[in-house]
Amino acid sequence: MLVSSDSWKAKTKKKTKTLAKVPSERRLSKHELDKVAKQRDLTSALFDQYLETHERDIVRQDATVIVEKVQRELTVRETTLAFCKAAAIAYRIRSTIKKNGKTMGPLHGLPISLKDQFRARGNDTTMAYIGWIGTYESCKDPELVHNVNSQTLNPNNQNLSSEGSSGGEGALQALPGSVVGFGTDIGGFLRVPAAFNGIFSLKPTHSRLSYRGVANVIPGETTYSSSVGVMGTSPDTIHLVLRSVVLTQPWIKDSNVVPILWAGTNDNKPLKLGILWTDGVVTTQPPIAVASDLWWMLLKVAFLKADGGYDIHQQLDLSGEPLVSPLRDAFQGRDYEAAYYWNSTADVDGQLVNAVIMLVAPHAAVIPGKFYHTAYTEVINLMDYRVVVIPVTKADKSIDKADPSYTPLNDVDAKNWNAYDPEIYDGAPLGVQIVARKLEEEKIWAIGKIVHEILKAAGIQ
């Protein structure tokens, strides 16, 4: 039934119920909001000024530390209230209980945020549709621009987008109003906001985590699979939460989930990586090109010396120099799945490629409305591969210079190239995705942590 425009506009007013749930002492004044709106970077010092010292100490901790402290010195109440306050502030600027003195499960006391696609009792799941207000929850918009809420900008640089559709979750963690949360990914909607907001994520194979209780716009569609995944502020956070969920044996309640417990892997073979810096269709903007050359040379040297660390060593007996090779085959659907790049060098040294490092997009966190080429993430959903995203660096106007003699490959490449502005992009987060085959989330997490530790030790991150 058709309704008038006045009717759907009136319905959007229901979103004020969310604000009404926030205690008045946690709300920012109009003067404060006006001040914030003029700031480029909302993270760190600007965000911290609205929190008490003990609250900052809580929300800046890694999830693994929070879980440990809840068992000793923190209460669930004070931990939850600290994150509720941080989340309330983040919203305005764009728990379990103990039983018999023991914690209840591995995530006891850890506040976890949810994308508006996970049905939570008492809250709307709108999927950005006005008609879903007052019914149930969720959003499938690559830039989080819709009629339910205003656009979500990037807290690292308000000139840029946080991207979507899990961009609200990415922005919340970048502040941080949360250290870990769940999102969904059907075309990069978990990975892109993670990379653009400077945090971590892991997109599992579609059937590794349950989609029950999660709204969707195309129920039952499996040709181009959507996955439930985790976003967090550290690799250990991703590991803690994903492992804890899998250990609950979700396949008991949802037969669509594969019955595989979380386990380590140690095949006593050297790690072999492939690299893809361009798909040959749209050329990377200067921040990506500069960072690619710099940190790949660093990785190449570091891998020769790496011992992995105790947890990683148990999973991947790392040794040897990684093979740097271009991708030889185009992504063209499931017929290519078995024989895709993983097998392409086996006849040379008898070893399959473990993972491929590739871009999330041909640019860093993007100017709103200028995300022209999404193939880097969409193709992974077509293959239903598992992916980890790690932050690498930030754009720097002093070194990310555009080549004035560059000749675009096509019209889309020209639009992307011309959209680069070093002043606007300065400080934009830049991340990469590390891709591997199905149902080995444990291995891709471990590879991601190895790469992250190498970059961190060199001061890149």
pLDDT band at 317 (very low <50, low <70, confident <90, very high): very low
Q: 319-368, pLDDT tens digit by residue?
A: 333 323 333 333 344 444 444 456 666 666 667 788 888 889 999 988 98
Instruction: Name the pairing type of β-strands 180-185 and 113-114.
Output: parallel
Q: 177-209, pLDDT tens digit by residue?
A: 889 999 888 878 889 999 999 999 999 998 899
pLDDT band at 125 (very low <50, low <70, confident <90, very high): low
Q: Which residues make up the CATH 3.90.1300.10 domain(s) of the chain? A: 113-252
Residues 192/240, Cβ–Cβ less than 8 Å: no
Strand order in the sheet with 180-185: 113-114, 180-185, 227-232, 200-203, 386-394, 429-436, 355-359, 273-276
- Comparing 8-22, 281-295, 314-328, 336-350, the range with the smallest average pLDDT is 314-328
- Comparing 29-33, 248-252, 265-269, 427-431, the range with the smallest average pLDDT is 265-269
- Most trustworthy range by pLDDT among 50-54, 68-72, 167-171, 240-244: 240-244
Question: What pLDDT is stored for residue 424 in this prediction?
Answer: 93
Please report how many Cα atoms fall inside a 13 Å half-sphere around the Cα of residue 223, on the Cβ side. Answer: 4
44: left (phi over 0), alpha (psi -120 to 50) or beta: left
Q: Is the pLDDT score of 148 beyond 60?
A: no
- Most trustworthy range by pLDDT among 32-46, 77-91, 232-246: 232-246
pTM of the model: 0.77
Helix locations, 247-337, DSSP H: 286-305, 310-315
Q: Of 114, 131, 111, nearest to 122 (Cα)?
A: 114
Q: Match 């660093």 to its residue by tokens.
A: 298
81: left (phi over 0), alpha (psi -120 to 50) or beta: alpha
Element (H, E) at 434: strand 429-436
Query: What's the CATH fold of domain 113-252?
Result: Amidase signature (AS) enzymes (3.90.1300)
Mean of per-residue pLDDT scores for the chain: 76
Distance (Å, rounded) from C-alpha 147 to C-alpha 128?
7
Report which of residues 150 and 380 the model is more confident about: 380
- Comparing 10-24, 53-67, 75-89, 376-390, the range with the smallest average pLDDT is 10-24
Question: What pLDDT is stored for residue 144 in this prediction?
Answer: 47
242-262 burial by CB neighbour count: b if 16+ within 10 A, else e? bbebbeeebbeeeeebeebee
- Most trustworthy range by pLDDT among 21-35, 55-69, 344-358, 368-382: 55-69
Question: What pLDDT is stored for residue 245 in this prediction?
Answer: 93
- Most trustworthy range by pLDDT among 111-120, 257-266, 278-287, 350-359: 278-287
Measured CA distances, 193 to 56, 131, 176, 361 (Å)? 24, 26, 14, 11
Distance (Å, rounded) from C-alpha 340 to C-alpha 155?
38
Structure-block tokens of residue 454: 């190498």
Question: What pLDDT is stored for residue 154 in this prediction?
Answer: 84
Report which of residues 303 and 289 the model is more confident about: 289
Q: 368-383, pLDDT tens digit by residue?
A: 889 999 888 888 887 8
Q: Is the pLDDT score of 238 beyond 90?
A: yes
Residues 213/250, Cβ–Cβ less than 8 Å: no
Question: What pLDDT is stored for residue 231 in this prediction?
Answer: 93
